[in-house]
Amino acid sequence: MHFQWYPGHMTKAKRMMQENIKLIDLVIELTDARVPVSSRNPDIDELGKNKARLILLNKADLAEEKWNDAWMEYFQGQGFSCVKVNSKKGGGMKSIHAVIQEACKEKIERDRKRGILNRPVRAMVVGIPNVGKSTFINSLAGKACAKTGNKPGVTKGKQWIRLNKNVELLDTPGILWPKFEDQSVGMKLAFIGSIKDEILQRTELAAEFVKFMQQNYPGVLAEKYSVEEDGDAYGILEGIARSRHCLVRGSELDMEKASTLLLDDFRDGRLGRLTLEYPDQI
Ligand code: GDP
């Protein structure tokens, strides 16, 4: 399977990022808790050097709790602040403000020594497409969405959302481009739906997903779809098509439809909380 990313998007996203990152103290990097490493782009380490860093395991509700905790420990061990969140439901949001202050304590201390008091921390949300950046910003900003910047006389300024007296957030997230030189990374990003399905062979992707499940979560597919799970991946997909009545012209198995059904069930959490990569593999 081959994945493509468009250099046009990439250069534009990178240019925006380089411009905006100059304005901020803190990079809030969203990752997908199901694939915390594959959903990162390590270029952010270079772009965000000298900035305070906070990594969020977003969509934590879709990943296994024990692995969320293991990943938190992993990132903290690398010197990042790290919080698991569910931006959609607002889970984990309360602890974020304290963590932001903690992540920025060197900057706050530096300000204090220079006699600058109470200058808000300026932050920016970054992450690859579909990781939940907009949802997170909306959830964090909530109704206290008082905007600063673009005041009369400050035209063409950036839009800042004042979260509280200590923190201002850039209202547009920075888009990082996914990094999938490694096929297994591309595959996992395709599983979670971060790469447009149109450019992929749906059934091939679903078959790969079946293989992953056989290896890492044996029994889940059998239980969910009442299928025999020992056979080859396409056989299992056929079983899913049969048990879910995915048929073309009333009789032929519709493998495309079964593949979509399986992938959507996974993406929406209907197969339970699943984690696709683990710290001990890194
Ligand atoms: P962006 O492209 O990074 O801005 O991503 P969006 O904010 O548009 O979110 C992409 C999809 O993920 C949307 O369907 C959101 O509802 C969903 N989403 C975002 N955060 C979470 C979360 O914490 N949990 C779950 N289950 N879904 C989420």
Domain ranges of the chain: 7-175, 201-281
Place of tokens 């990439």: 10
Q: Are 271 and 220 in contact (CB under 8 A)?
A: yes
Contact 203, 246 (CB under 8 A): no
Pocket test for ligand 1, best of 124, 130, 169 (most atoms within 8 A of CB): 130
The number of the ligand 1 atom at minimal distance from the alpha carbon of 30 is 3
pLDDT, residue 14, reads: 85
- Any atom of ligand 1 within 6 Å of the Cβ of 175: no
Taking the centre of ligand 1 as the mean of its atom positions, its distance from the CA of residue 238, in whole angstroms, is: 31
- Gap between the Cα atoms of 156 and 65, Å rounded: 43
Selection from 214, 220, 120, 208 nearest residue 170 by Cα: 120
Q: What is the pLDDT of residue 199?
A: 57
84 Cβ closer than 6 Å to some ligand 1 atom: no
34 lines ligand 1 (CB under 6 A): no
Three-state SS at 152: coil
CA of 90 to the centre of ligand 1 (A): 12
Which CATH architecture describes the domain 201-281? Orthogonal Bundle (1.10)
The predicted pLDDT at position 77 comes to: 97
Judged against a pLDDT cut of 60, whether residue 4 lies above it is answered with no
SS3 string, 26-46, reads EEEEEEECCCCCCCCCCHHHH
- In this structure, the residue with its CA closest to atom 13 of ligand 1 is 132
pLDDT digits (tens, 9 = 90+) for 153-203: 444 567 899 999 999 999 999 999 888 778 899 999 999 998 876 656 899
Task: Flag the least confident range among 1-5, 20-24, 109-113.
Answer: 1-5
Residue 138 CB less than 6 A away from ligand 1: no
**How far is it, in rounded angstroms, from Cα 278 to Cα 214?**
16
- ipTM field: 0.99
Residue 88 CB less than 6 A away from ligand 1:
yes
Q: Is 263 helix (H, G, I), strand (E, B) or coil?
A: helix
- Site of tokens 């959903």: 39
**Residue 215: strand, helix, or coil:** helix
The pLDDT score that the predictor gives to residue 156 is 54
Does residue 159 sit in helix, strand or coil? coil
Ligand 1 pocket member 171 (CB < 6 A): no
Ligand 1 pocket test, pick from 32, 87, 96, 266 with the greatest ligand atom count within 8 Å of Cβ, gives 87
For ligand 1, the distance from its centroid to the CA atom of residue 59, given in whole angstroms, is 7
The strand pairing partners of 29, in sequence order, are 55, 126
For residue 87 and ligand 1, the question of a CB distance below 6 A is answered with yes
| Mean of pLDDT values over 100-119 | 92
What are 42-101's pLDDT values in tens digits?
A: 889 999 999 999 999 999 999 999 999 999 999 999 999 999 999 999 999 999 999 999
Q: What is the pLDDT of residues 190-246, one digit of tens each?
A: 999 988 766 568 999 999 999 999 999 999 999 999 999 999 999 999 999 999 999
CA of 272 to the centre of ligand 1 (A): 17
CB–CB of 127/39 below 8 Å? yes
Q: Which pLDDT belongs to residue 152?
A: 47
* Atom number of ligand 1 nearest to Cα 85: 23
- Classify domain 7-175 at the CATH topology level: Rossmann fold (3.40.50)
Q: Phi first, then psi: give them for residue 281, nearest 5 degrees.
A: -90, -10
